[in-house]
Structures are given as C-alpha cells and as structure tokens.
Amino acid sequence: MITVQLYDTTLRDGAQKEGISLSVEDKLKICQKLDELGIDFIEGGQPGSNPKDTEFFARTQNLRLTHSTLVAFGSTRRAGCRVEEDLNLQALLEAKTKVVTIVGKAWDKQVTRVLETTLEENLSMITDSISYLRAKGLRVFFDAEHFFDGYKDDTKYALQVVTTAAKAGAEYVILCDTNGGTLPQQIAEAVKAVQKASPVPLGIHTHNDAELAVANSLAAVEAGVIQIQGTMNGYGERCGNANLCSIIPNLKLKMGIDCVTDEQLNKLSDVSRYVSELANMPHYNRLPYVGDDSFTHKGGIHVSGLMKWKDSYQHINPSLVGNRPHVVVSELAGKGSIIFKAKERGLPVPKGKEIEEVLKQIKLLEKQGFQYDVAEASLDLLIRRAQPDYRPPFELVDFMVVVEKRRRPPTRGNQEETLSEATIKVKVDNRIVHTAAEGDGPVNALDQALRKALLQFYPDLTVVELIDYKVRILEETAGTASQIRVLIESSDGKENWRTVGSSTNIIEASWLAVADSIEYWLTKQAGKEKD
C-alpha cells in the first residue's frame, strides 16, 4: 500500500501571500486545526528571521499535538561562513523542534547569479549544514530549491545537489518547482530520474504559477514521491502553492491513498474556512471540494438529475469532505429546481400551476434584471406568493422621495448638505399608514420611513438592519436610462439574508429590495410563532 506524508507550510510559505499577516496566536490555533486534520508535518516558520516566528517556536514548547510533528525552516549556511557561526542554523537549534527543513539551491544559475558563489561551495554549504544539524540529533529534510529548472538547464548538477544532501544525512529530499512553470509529464520524468540516483525518499513542493501545482503534486506521487508539501486553500506568494484542500481528497478518494482518516477528511471544509477566517481572507467560493460553489447546481436539467440520482452531476458525495450540495434558482431553472429549493428552505412546496407561475415569474423578472441565485430571500417570497393562501404582512400604497440641496447656516460656513426625505403609505390589516422620515440618502430615508410605518404593528422589527448595499448597472450603453440591479443584505443579529430589486429607476430598484427584506423577515417570524 502506498503511503504519502502530508507536509503543511501554510504558516511559512502560505503566509507570504499578499494580504496575510498571521499573529502568533493565529499560528498556534491553525496548528491545532491542522493536527486535527491529520497533517503529518507542520512547518511553523523560520526562527530568527523575525520576532514573531521566534516567539511562536518558544510558545510551541507547551503546544500539545496528537498527530502532527512541528518543523522549523531555515537555509544552508552562508557562503564562506562556518556552520557554528551561522546565525540561521543557530536559530534552528534554538527552536527546539525534532525536525528541521533547510533549503539549498539546485539550479546552477541560482548559485552563480543569486548566491554569487561557486557550484562547489554550494555543495559544501549543503553538506556542512545537514551534517551539523544531524550531529545535533535533529531529523533533517532538504528542500532542493528550483530543482526542476535546474534539472532542465544542468541535469548533472541538479542530481548532484540531491545526492549530496542524501549523503550528508537528509532524511527526505524535497524537489521544488519554485517558479511553478513545470508540466506534469516533466515532473514525472525528473522524479523517476532522481529515484535512480538518490538513496533517500523524495518529496514534492510545487507552486501554482501555471495552475498546475495540484496536478504536478499528484504526478509526482504517481512517479514515486512519498511526501507532499502544500498549503491550506493554496495560499502562497504570487499564484500560490499546491492546495492541500484539493490534494488530500484527490489522494484519498481518487487514488485510494489513506493519507487521512474518513473522520479527518470530513473536517476538511471546516478547517479550510477556519484558516481563511484567521488569515482574514475571503473564502473563495469556487475552491474545489471545500468551496461554497463546489457542489452548487443552477441548470434545471442538472437539478432534475440530482433529485433522481445524487451522483448524476457530482463527482463525489459532498458530505465526505464536510460540504453539501446547493441549488440556486435562475432563468435556467426547471420544476425540479423549485421543488428542491422549497424543500431545502422549509417552504410550502408549490404544485401544478403554482410551479408554472413561479417559473414564469423568475424567467420574466430575471429578464428585467433580477437575479435570484444571489438573493434567496427574494426567491423565498416568490415561492410563498405563489401559494393561494399567502397574505403579505404589508402592502405598498405609494411612496415619494425628495432629495434637496440645502445651504447650511452662515455660522457653519458656506458648506452645503443634501437632505433626503421619504414619504410612504403602506397598508396593514386594512389600515393605511402615512408617514415620512429623513435619511443619509434616499435609500436610507425609504428604509427609515417603512420601519416607522410598520413598528406600531411589528415592534420587534427594530432588530433588523441593512448591512450591505450593492448597485450594478446592467446596460452601460443606455447611460442614465440603464437597467439597475440593487442587492441588499440585511441582518437581525442571528441570520443574514439578501434581497434583490431591479428597475431603470435606482430608487424603485432599492425600494423593491428593501421591501422584500422586511417582508421576508416578518413572514419568517410569523411562521415561527405558528410553530
């Protein structure tokens, strides 16, 4: 049976992604999650390179990991420097990890042009560094940086770097596609050549500059490597590193390699989101396996097939990786989509003419600029409104919005301010309420006026607030007569929901989205009271 070790470098290589700055506390928390996921080696950072990493390794002395082994990262000694005097190597010793990974150049051009030393001295740097660390009782992994570029330019020297590291005592030699431009077949060819020359096991470390990092990692496994280095969510410099969130399920579910247990695999989506949260990065919806869109179905034929056979349009069962299928409704929807969505969201399932009416409304309204796959609260209302016994909690009679430019009093200078005021009439239980309110802008004034009118009937409405407002022009060539789509996100502190409105008039589009937001919440509350 093939065994593959998982080596995570999110805390070091992944943190080089633009916009990521992990605190020591963040790194410790991520370590615990990676341990729960079944990662074999966690590269915590480069001690001595910055105060944060030095503190991290000091605090890991009290960190209790049940599966993972913590690794400190560094480089070979500097050219012309004795190992005992090299501060980088001394910092590795002070980190007090059982395993260290050191990086050395495997591309002749990198040695002569970047390190500005000789090819012979580079080999001595590798030998001295690994031998010194091994003599101190440490397990040593060697990252052969730029190996595949070196292999293309000077195969003999690249292989010499690998064999030198192996002879010096490296436990694993990791072949690095540092610039991320190698193709899978080239990876496999080089790995097989190295296996003939190297007596130690091999690993693979790939970057995603040609969007091949995952493919290259898997190709290396098929060629014989037994350690894969990567990061959560593919974080890393430039285009990122090999994404362990794709590699892990591919190894286990596609290649039959039990790199993690079934229970650990089930945590994958949660860990992916947890890391993105601590990294303060939006969780990319289109990530394979773990993204929100990984198992999202929009086309009517797809949804219909999914309802009959769950594997009809999914390559795996989403629950295996802790994810779930998701159906969105649009103008591409069929009857199956409406039924699926109604059941999923706990709504009355429309039948016969009711479904036809919902589909007709969706297709008509999406043609007018509405978009329901991103505004499920508005979709809920469409389905509810198709029910013959549905009664909305309020009905609009009319509204008017005034935007006026006012000059402030002379004592406050000659500045001007814009006043927005909305007047509204709504009908609740055969009673018409006529009220007005001012706001920071026309949409805010409308929102305030509607709330003012409804609060006497629904006092709990005070918990609802508008938290996001997006406007998109759909037909830019039409200028100021363009169709406008407004997407609003609201919250009651417990749940967030989105509603949509569309019109050639931005105020009307905004009103439709605001009114849907309030109606959705009131309808849902009424349903809870009945339960």
- Kindly tell me if the per-residue pLDDT of 131 is higher than 70: yes
Number of domains comprising the chain: 3
pTM tops 0.75: no
Sign of the dihedral through C-alpha 454, 455, 458, 463: positive
Task: Tell me whether residue 240 is in a domain.
Answer: yes
Name the nearest CA neighbour of 138 among 227, 39, 70, 225: 70
| CATH code of the domain containing 204 | 3.20.20.70
pLDDT band at 463 (very low <50, low <70, confident <90, very high): very high
> How high is the pLDDT of residue 239?
97
Q: What integer is the mean pLDDT of 172-189?
A: 98
- The answer to whether residues 131 and 66 belong to one domain is yes
- The answer to whether residues 362 and 423 belong to one domain is no
Q: Which residue, of 254, 285, 317, is where some domain finishes?
A: 254
Q: Domain range spanning residue 326?
A: 296-385
- Kindly tell me if the per-residue pLDDT of 332 is higher than 50: no
Task: Tell me whether residue 75 is in a domain.
Answer: yes
Please state, rounded to an integer, the average pLDDT across all residues of the chain: 89
**419 to 60, 435, 505, 514: CA distances (angstroms):** 57, 17, 19, 20
- The answer to whether residues 176 and 315 belong to one domain is no
For the segment 112-127, what is each residue's pLDDT rounded down to a tens digit?
999 999 999 999 999 9
| CATH code of the domain containing 493 | 3.30.160.270
Q: Which residue, of 385, 419, 441, is where some domain finishes?
A: 385
Task: Tell me whether residue 77 is in a domain.
Answer: yes
Strands 227-230 and 395-407: unpaired
Query: At residue 254, what are phi and psi to the nearest 5 degrees?
Result: -100, -35
> How high is the pLDDT of residue 301?
65
Q: Which of 238-247, 330-339, 375-384, 401-410 has the lowest mean pLDDT?
A: 330-339
With contact defined as beta carbons under 8 Å apart, do 202 and 228 qualify? no
Q: What integer is the mean pLDDT of 137-163?
A: 98
- The answer to whether residues 59 and 131 belong to one domain is yes
Q: How many CA atoms lie less than 13 Å away from 43 in the CB half-sphere? A: 27
Exposed e or buried b per residue across 277-289, where buried means at least 16 C-beta atoms within 10 angstroms of its C-beta: ebbeeebeeebbb
> How high is the pLDDT of residue 173?
98
> How high is the pLDDT of residue 162?
98
- The answer to whether residues 161 and 225 belong to one domain is yes
- The answer to whether residues 407 and 341 belong to one domain is no
Q: How far apart are CA 289 and CA 247, in angstroms?
A: 10
- The answer to whether residues 238 and 323 belong to one domain is no
For the segment 81-100, what is each residue's pLDDT rounded down to a tens digit?
999 999 999 999 999 999 99
- The answer to whether residues 132 and 171 belong to one domain is yes
- Kindly tell me if the per-residue pLDDT of 217 is higher than 90: yes
Query: Regarding predicted confidence, which is higher, 306 or 59?
Result: 59
Alpha helix locations (H) across 154-240?
Answer: 155-168, 184-197, 213-223
Task: Tell me whether residue 234 is in a domain.
Answer: yes
| DSSP class of 241 | B
Q: Which of 288-292, 479-483, 509-513 has the lowest mean pLDDT?
A: 479-483
Q: What integer is the mean pLDDT of 161-166?
A: 98
Task: Tell me whether residue 266 is in a domain.
Answer: no
> How high is the pLDDT of residue 331?
46
> How high is the pLDDT of residue 414?
53
pLDDT band at 461 (very low <50, low <70, confident <90, very high): very high
Q: How far apart are CA 243 and CA 229, in angstroms?
A: 9
- The answer to whether residues 142 and 227 belong to one domain is yes
With contact defined as beta carbons under 8 Å apart, do 465 and 495 qualify? no
Q: Which of 332-346, 405-419, 461-475 has the highest mean pLDDT?
A: 461-475
> How high is the pLDDT of residue 309?
74
Strands 416-428 and 431-439: antiparallel
Q: How far apart are CA 365 and CA 359, in angstroms?
A: 10
Give CB contacts under 8 A, 24+ apart, made by 248-257. 248/6, 248/37, 249/289, 249/316, 249/320, 249/321, 250/214, 250/218, 251/4, 251/218, 251/221, 253/316, 253/320, 255/2, 255/218, 255/221, 255/222, 257/2, 257/3, 257/4, 257/221
Query: Regarding predicted confidence, which is higher, 371 or 409?
Result: 371
| DSSP class of 350 | P
> How high is the pLDDT of residue 166?
98
Task: Tell me whether residue 262 is in a domain.
Answer: no
- The answer to whether residues 26 and 81 belong to one domain is yes
> How high is the pLDDT of residue 481?
58
> How high is the pLDDT of residue 478?
52
In which residue are the tokens 């929009």 written?
298
- The answer to whether residues 378 and 236 belong to one domain is no
Task: Tell me whether residue 479 is in a domain.
Answer: yes
Q: Which residue, of 226, 254, 282, is where some domain finishes?
A: 254
Query: Regarding predicted confidence, which is higher, 33 or 389?
Result: 33
> How high is the pLDDT of residue 251?
98
Q: What integer is the mean pLDDT of 463-470?
A: 90
Task: Tell me whether residue 282 is in a domain.
Answer: no
- The answer to whether residues 380 and 399 belong to one domain is no
